[in-house]
Chains A and B, each alone.
Chain A
Amino acid sequence: MAASFLFSQFMGGLTTAMFLFLIASGLSLVFGIMRVINFAHGSFYMLGAYLAWQGVQWFHPTGAGFWAAALLAAAGVGILGAVVERLFFRSLYGREELYQLLFTYALVLILGDAAKYLWGTDQLSVSTPPVLAGSVVIFGSTQPIYNLFMMTIGPVIAVVGWLVLNRSGVGRMVRAAQMDREMLGALGANVGRIYTGMFVVSSCLAGLSGALVTPIQGIVPGMDVLIIVQAFIVVVIGGMGSIWGTFWGSVIYGEVLSFGILIFPGFSLFSVFALMAVILIVRPWGLFGRPL
């Protein structure tokens, strides 16, 4: 096998990985801080995609309005996240996790139909923004510039996220909330606002990733359900609540899928779930997570 081909597959896997990282990072964040598995995270991602499409229609259909549309998507989904958290999630915190899980599932159902109602059932698409269109040849393989863009965004977000969580005042509060919510509240911090804030950040990330995926993939009903299981796998492999864990989990997942179709074509679907199961059996808190 030619080296340039292996390099292409590797880069392809990395692109998939960075997309997934963007989505999964929000999921991991919410889990790490609030101990909630948010099934609706995939729905936020889908809404981000639809909002981006809508934004592009409003601002400039040939893609130049893409950045504004992406911002609209992130902001819109962030606002939705804030509303959902304050109005509904708040009242479920004291209850069993089952109710929180089922609540997020109810959101999946409702948001899925809302998207169908608002944007119809056809597959929509968005053109690549002109400034990132085209491709370059690296090591004999053609790499779309947009993919390279995604590959840089991923680590940037990971680094920024890590810095904020570990080197800033806000980050310290968030980590404290993760360790002992009641104590933090007793010390006078507004824990509720921290939770809302985290949920909003997570939703923004989901919305943004949905927007950024539109030049490459179609926007279609059902994309929420397809993505959420992949995000779960990534977060399980890497470790819930750990940014770098999610990052490396995404990379592993992306490369397994990418090379999987070469080595064992029929099994790539099976292998990612098997990988998830193996990690849960052997090291449930993931490669980089901490035991709960």
Chain B
Amino acid sequence: MRLQHCLGLALAVAASAPLAAQAEDTIKIGFPIPLSGPTAVYGKPILAGAELAVQQINAAGGVLGKKLELLSRDSKANADEAVRLSRELIIKDSVDFLLGTLTSAEAPAVSTVAKENKIVFMVPAAKTTLLTDDAHIHPYIFRLASNTDVEGLAGAGEMAQFKDVKTVVTIAPDYAYGHDSINAFIAAIKKQRPDIQVVDSQWPKLGEPDFTPFINAMMSKKPDAIYCSLFAGDFVTFAKQAAPLGLFKAVSNRVVDGGEVGTPDAAQALGADYPLGIIVNAYDPVIWGGGNEPPEHKKFVEDLKAYTHAEYASGWSIQGYSMVEALVEGIKKAGDTKSDDVSKALIGLTFDTPVGKRTFSAKSHETFAPEYWGVATKTAEYPFAIIKDPQPLPTNFPTN
């Protein structure tokens, strides 16, 4: 036992040696986001967008004379992993700001870490209203993403267009985002089309490999349409399994999905198996239908393709890119990199994104961003499905 302690002592002394002093001339941004697993198909491009922004800003001289540094970590879409990584980023790497997470399980958990450590945390994708409601709002949380109320309103609007639909079934992942999005849809559709009834709801878990029992259950109700909140890899698996079971045919492709599966990312992942004719959305459709593409967007897509060496740009990178841009605006306005000052500067701040201006609302620090919705179609030019004539919806959401 004695010698064991000698060893323990030696190791303890070695570990107690103070860390080398950190370089003070960069602004460190911690970036936990899923880089593996079914949600990585969204997570990786968000990171790429952020990296592009950092590269451009640093090339132009940085912010307040300092360069930006992005420290990315793979959160595997797990709340506990995201929390652990965030704490390490704060305690070990002394990051100045936190950006990232993808799912509505990770974001609220990391938000509590941000609150406790008084560090600005910006969210690109998580939509649950939990994140910024009265019980959970705090000075340091900011949401670039849309939220489930906005999504539900737009989704209901799309569903309402189908005049002969009377019954709808829903399917959504069994966690905060899934439940919030379905609740929002149901509330909105009741107002717009009180004659539509939601007759069933299915709740597979996030990351479910086998949707067959859920698909069969949905089909047994013989619905007229389906409202779906599956996203990323889950949507890919679901679509591949649903098509041979005849699900899409049974509802004549009257499927509305609010999980950004209209992005080239999801479309390329499904390839030839993509269910054409369904209604989908994206923050950035990338391929612009009507010809009135904003010039900033065109430039953004070119820069993105050059940065990622990819043939087609991603529909998710815009969120990572815009987040960094927004943060930089906040830092400039605050005049320093302290989270207390930057967070005050960000509230109510209006900033540019490649698809238009956004503002962090004063009360809940959200943008209530609209997304681009449309029918998924195949054209001759692109080997994957794209959104036909994407429209920013909803047009009438009350922001506060």
A interface, CB within 8 angstroms of B: 1-2, 4-5, 8-9, 12-13, 15-16, 62, 116, 121-123, 125, 127-128, 133-135, 141-142, 144-147, 215-218, 220-223, 226, 257-262, 265, 269
Contacts and interface: CB of A to CB of B under 8 A. Distances in A.
Interface residues of B, number: 35
Nearest to B214: A261
Contacts of B44: 121-122
A12 B270 contact: no
A261 B217 contact: yes
B35 A257 contact: no
A117 to B, nearest CB: 12
Contact of A135 (B202, B210, B219, B246): B246
Nearest to B244: A144
Nearest to A257: B213
Contacts of A258: 212-213, 216
A8 B220 CA distance: 9
A123 B220 contact: no
B237 A217 contact: yes
24 contacts: A8-B220, A12-B216, A15-B212, A16-B210, A16-B212, A62-B272, A116-B36, A121-B35, A123-B37, A125-B269, A125-B271, A125-B273, A127-B272, A127-B273, A128-B244, A144-B245, A217-B237, A222-B207, A226-B209, A257-B213, A258-B216, A261-B202, A261-B213, A261-B217
Given A121-B35, A217-B210, A9 B217 contact: yes
A12 B233 contact: no
A194 to B, nearest CB: 35
B166 interface: no
A170 B212 CA distance: 39
B205 A269 contact: yes
Given A125-B271, A258-B212, 10 more contacts: A5-B216, A5-B219, A9-B216, A121-B37, A123-B37, A127-B272, A135-B245, A142-B246, A217-B237, A262-B213
A218 B241 CA distance: 10
B213 A12 contact: yes
B262 interface: no
Interface of B: 35-38, 40-41, 44, 74, 76, 202-203, 205, 207, 209-210, 212-214, 216-217, 219-220, 233, 236-237, 240-241, 244-246, 269-273
**Interface-central residue, B35, B241, B244, B270, by most chain A CB under 10 Å:** B244
**Interface-central residue, A13, A144, A216, A218, by most chain B CB under 10 Å:** A218
* CB-CB nearest 7 A-B residue pairs: A144-B244, A5-B220, A121-B36, A142-B246, A12-B212, A123-B233, A8-B216
Given A8-B216, A116-B36, A142-B246, A127 B271 contact: yes
Nearest to A19: B210
Nearest to B76: A222
A281 B51 CA distance: 54
A216 B244 CA distance: 10
Nearest to A260: B213
Contact of B244 (A4, A133, A217, A261): A133
A142 B217 contact: no
